[in-house]
Structure 1
Amino acid sequence: MATSATTGLPDATAAPVVAPSAPNPPSVHVRAVITWLAIFPLVAIGMLLIGPVSVDWHPVARAFVLTLIVVPLAVYLVVPQLMRAYGAIRARKSR
């Protein structure tokens, strides 16, 4: 809000500042599908890669190591890329 230089009070003649509206975020259902699209291939590939090394491991240890790899990859790399792609498709459709 603009203020008067002399009084320090809000200036009634100044036009209100309107922030540009942000696009609506995807629905929870779309986010769930995007997350699944990121997680499933990472888990499948991770299981194939650590399978030969972890044959004798306890299943909880296998799950622990797999999630140590898959979760950061999904959260920091794959899901943001898929969300960007979804946003681009959505923007293209809205034009």
Structure 2
Amino acid sequence: MLENLRSFAQPYGGDLFLLLIALAVVSLAALVGIRKRLQVQQLRRVIRVAALVALLGSVFAMQIGSAYYAIAGVLLAWGVLVGIIFGREIGSKR
């Protein structure tokens, strides 16, 4: 099964693409688990850091070459999901 995934991900950046998807899923699960315990200021900081990571990571991925555009897309999608999830949490705490 891993070979099927590796052959699927080869045009999109190879193993780095798979690693980034796994990291994004794990980090989203961890962030969703701790969002209830964070204060509003901490939630805003997490949104800012996620936006910064997504923006810088996607810019670097696009600078490497067109084969890494999928990695840039994953990073941007991760940043948007973090912003939406934590933005709703900020709205519910007010």
TM over 0.5: no
Structure whose alpha-carbon radius of gyration is higher: 1
**TM-score in terms of structure 2 length:** 0.30
Give the helix-richer structure, 1 or 2. Answer: 2
Query: Which of the pair has the greater relative contact order for Cα pairs under 8 Å at 6+ separation?
Result: 2
**TM-score in terms of structure 1 length:** 0.29
